[in-house]
Structure 1
Amino acid sequence: MTRTAVVRATGLAQRFGARTIYRDVTFDVAAGEVFVILGGSGCGKSTLMRQIIGLLPPNEGKVEVLGQDMYAAGVDIRDRIGVMFQSGALFGSMTLLENVMLPLEMHTDMPPQARARLASVKLGLVGLADAAALMPAEISGGMAKRAAIARALALDPPLLFLDEPSAGLDPITSAGLDRLILDLRHDLGATFVVVTHELASILAIADRCIMLDRTAQGIIAEGDPRVLRDSSEQPMVRAFFRRELPNDAAGAPA
């Protein structure tokens, strides 16, 4: 049975001045899957995520999220999606608990004690129940990523966007974060759209992916990343998944 598409991107293009980042980007994300946007540096992964969540109107094309046109007048679904930005973007003057409470303060009329209890539950979901009173400067990079995910979960959104969740983390911490994403998908039934170029994470968590390429200015592959790794005929796709130089770059100086 075909699952409902919770994200639908059609013919997206983004240009900055005369420079085209990508064009004709079209894909769907099905409810309940972990969908990864991957590719090398500078291909437009984070730019594409910003378009999908409503922060950057595309030069061309259309974005629908949870059945809503993200750029239609009057549309605001910020309380139905959760976003973890690449740096975590925690507020340094707030404790972890206060950071997670912030979306509840902005989008609900819950009393303060109820907000605090719910925020504590979200921190517990990501393994930070004992760190609620800590400040962002007092925690590790991996803990900051988990706290940012807890904040993204604050409003129980059906759809979460994670931008480079494993960036800058050691392999063990990164593997723990991958496990957390899969556990949350299983336990909460949420859909995840993850931007990353971390090969180990892609193969660990992704149900499907699209691969962007800077030279091609768009999508060069779509599907199960394990199938793409083993069966793709495209040199750039094979090179990415096998951590090899493309044939035309094999003899280039380092």
Structure 2
Amino acid sequence: MADNVIEVEKLAARFGSRTVFQDVTFEVRRGEVFVILGGSGCGKSTLLKLLIGLIPPAEGEARVLGNPLNRLHGRPRQQALARIGVMWQQGALLGSLNLMQNVAVPLEQHTKLPREAREAVARARLGLVGLGDAATRLPAEISGGMLKRAGIARAMALDPEILFLDEPSAGLDPITSAGLDDLITTLARETGTTFVVVTHELQSILAIGDRCIMLDKDAKGMIAEGNPRELRDNATHPKVRAFFRREVLEQKA
């Protein structure tokens, strides 16, 4: 469909003889906040890496903005990657650069803008995430929550159509995490950017997610898809119900 910005068909990930997941099929619609969730070891981050072309699938295909990124090379790959942004779990900022310089890195790599223009764009992106007054500070001089926001600002440097966020709330206190959730929903609403968020943080999932898929380590694939609040209220699968209701799952004898 024209409104889908990501289309995944029967995707599988394997490392040697170990299958992480298989038969994963879903789509992401333009402008929504889409969450990839599940317990530890289910393959959430592996799926993210497959989507952005860092590793090839064992089977199936993932198309991002119409492109299977793992099969693009050279200039077509660079052009496709410029249309997406990625924030890794710890922000992955360069410690020797201040926040403005960090955000300007993608602009230096992918544009011919002069330094003054790059700095202006970087400051504007920092302003979007509430860090306009921290542009000259180093990563070591700011809090964990600010690092996450700066990572989002850098991921937004090239005005991407899709932002991929890897565990944005991991390691944050509840108040800081709630503020980050609010930032994500605000950015999605005000900029029209599509967000794909990898997380296992239940409160964040319910706060930001328009739709989600749930991966399961034992099933080696998807066990749920839909609106997270509807899954919380109506799920019949034992693991899905236990996850969304924070219940202890009964173990089979």
Aligned length: 249
Task: Provide the C-alpha distance between the structure 1 equivalents of 2:52 and 2:155, rounded to a whole number of angstroms.
Answer: 13
Tell me if structure 2 keeps the 8 A contact 1:9–1:64.
yes
Segment of structure 1 superposing worse, 239-248 or 105-114 = 239-248
Task: Provide the C-alpha distance between the structure 2 equivalents of 1:55 and 1:73, rounded to a whole number of angstroms.
Answer: 11
* Post-superposition CA distance 1:99-147 (Å, at most 9, x none): 0000000000000000000100000000001111111111100000000
Q: Which residue number corresponds to residue 238 of structure 1? A: 241
Q: Which residue number corresponds to residue 188 of structure 1? A: 191
- Per the normalisation by structure 1, the TM-score is 0.96
- The offset of 1:69, in angstroms, is 2.0
| Paired-residue identity, % | 62
Q: Secondary structure at 2:42's aligned position in 1?
A: coil
* Aligned partner of 2:232 among 217, 229, 234: 229
Task: Provide the C-alpha distance between the structure 2 equivalents of 1:148 and 1:69, rounded to a whole number of angstroms.
Answer: 25
Segment of structure 1 superposing worse, 103-112 or 12-21 = 12-21
Instruction: Give 1:150's aligned amino acid.
Output: A
Tell me if structure 2 keeps the 8 A contact 1:3–1:31.
no
Please give the residue correspondences for 1:1-254 in structure 2 after superposition, counting only pairs within 5 Å: 4-74=3-73, 75-76=76-77, 77-248=80-251
Tell me if structure 1 keeps the 8 A contact 2:55–2:70.
no
Tell me if structure 1 keeps the 8 A contact 2:54–2:70.
no
Task: Provide the C-alpha distance between the structure 2 equivalents of 1:80 and 1:3, rounded to a whole number of angstroms.
Answer: 17
- The offset of 1:73, in angstroms, is 3.8
Q: Secondary structure at 1:47's aligned position in 2?
A: helix
Instruction: Give 2:215's aligned amino acid.
Output: L
Task: Provide the C-alpha distance between the structure 2 equivalents of 1:114 and 1:65, rounded to a whole number of angstroms.
Answer: 29
* Post-superposition CA distance 1:45-97 (Å, at most 9, x none): 00100000110111111110111122334341111001001111001111111
- Per the normalisation by structure 2, the TM-score is 0.96
- The offset of 1:227, in angstroms, is 0.7
Task: Provide the C-alpha distance between the structure 2 equivalents of 1:101 and 1:121, rounded to a whole number of angstroms.
Answer: 11
- The offset of 1:167, in angstroms, is 0.2
Structure 1 alignment gaps of length 5 or more:
none
* Post-superposition CA distance 1:15-48 (Å, at most 9, x none): 1122110001111000010000000000000010
Task: Provide the C-alpha distance between the structure 2 equivalents of 1:171 and 1:23, rounded to a whole number of angstroms.
Answer: 34
Structure 2 alignment gaps of length 5 or more:
none
Tell me if structure 2 keeps the 8 A contact 1:3–1:30.
no
Q: Secondary structure at 1:247's aligned position in 2?
A: coil
- The offset of 1:3, in angstroms, is 6.4
Q: Secondary structure at 1:64's aligned position in 2?
A: strand
Task: Provide the C-alpha distance between the structure 2 equivalents of 1:182 and 1:26, rounded to a whole number of angstroms.
Answer: 25
RMSD: 1.2
